[in-house]
A and B are shown apart, each in its own frame.
Chain A
Amino acid sequence: AQKITQTQPGMFVQEKEAVTLDCTYDTSDQSYGLFWYKQPSSGEMIFLIYQGSYDEQNATEGRYSLNFQKARKSANLVISASQLGDSAMYFCAMREERGSSNTGKLIFGQGTTLQVKP
């Protein structure tokens, strides 16, 4: 069964510094996708970044990058130059990508609360 683990319930970072949010996953599938979502206090779920298991390069989207280490089954999110608006809950998620039984559903981790200090 697929599983996502986020071991940091809460993190603090100083404004303008970089921060890494940890995510490890477990799957027997060869083809899968890894996602990060942001949930601010207002409650909506905002898609941040995607990494396919066959992508050779780490994904980047603006200030977000995904440090993908396939052998270690980790997909850490790196936020550079933190801003006050980055304060939110961050969820790592995984999705099967192939197979007739694939339903495309996302499996989520428990989340990490990030607080950016001014």
Chain B
Amino acid sequence: NAGVMQNPRHLVRRRGQEARLRCSPMKGHSHVYWYRQLPEEGLKFMVYLQKENIIDESGMPKERFSAEFPKEGPSILRIQQVVRGDSAAYFCASSPTRYNSPLHFGNGTRLTVT
């Protein structure tokens, strides 16, 4: 049973470009969460999605950031017009339910904005 797959593992973008981060949850998992980790810090919640629906985006910056989880295909975290402050590790996690189960994390995407 493959784990949560994230790609790319590393992504370098210049200021002003767009970054697209992809996440395929574990088989059978319909709940997807995105987190951001700045250097030497814990993970900060960004957004929670179920298939085709954004359930909680309380941690998402209001501008430039968007997320989707289409009926078919991976979940996408999209950052438009990236700035240096967007440089971080972005983790995706999936879960079969909202309750009584851990989140299983992917290996993360390390975004560097030059």
Residues of A participating in the B interface, judged by any CB pair closer than 8 Å: 33, 35, 37, 43-47, 50, 52, 91, 95, 97-98, 102-111
Known: A107-B45, A110-B41. A97 touches B55 (CB 8 A): no
B40 to chain A, nearest CB (A): 8
Residues of B participating in the A interface, judged by any CB pair closer than 8 Å: 31, 33, 35, 41-45, 48, 55-56, 89, 91, 93, 95, 97-108, 110
- Bound-state CA distance A33–B102 (Å) is 9
Known: A91-B42, A109-B42. A102 touches B102 (CB 8 A): no
A97 touches B99 (CB 8 A): yes
Kindly list chain B residues whose C-beta atoms are within 8 Å of the C-beta of A108: 35, 42-44
Kindly list chain A residues whose C-beta atoms are within 8 Å of the C-beta of B91: 45
B104 touches A106 (CB 8 A): no
Contact of B107 among A43, A50, A102, A110 (CB under 8 A): A43
A44 touches B107 (CB 8 A): yes
From DSSP, what is the main secondary structure of chain B's interface residues? strand
A98 touches B102 (CB 8 A): no
In the complex formed, the residue of B with least CB distance to A110 is B42
A33 touches B42 (CB 8 A): no
A59 to chain B, nearest CB (A): 11
B105 touches A45 (CB 8 A): yes
A57 to chain B, nearest CB (A): 16
A33 touches B103 (CB 8 A): no
A32 to chain B, nearest CB (A): 10
- Bound-state CA distance A111–B39 (Å) is 12
B12 to chain A, nearest CB (A): 16
Contacts A/B (CB < 8 Å), 21 sampled:
A35-B102, A37-B105, A43-B110, A44-B106, A44-B107, A45-B43, A45-B91, A45-B93, A46-B105, A98-B99, A103-B48, A103-B56, A103-B98, A104-B97, A104-B98, A104-B99, A106-B43, A106-B103, A107-B45, A110-B42, A111-B41
A31 to chain B, nearest CB (A): 9
Kindly list chain A residues whose C-beta atoms are within 8 Å of the C-beta of B48: 103-105
- Bound-state CA distance A104–B49 (Å) is 11
Kindly list chain A residues whose C-beta atoms are within 8 Å of the C-beta of B107: 43-44
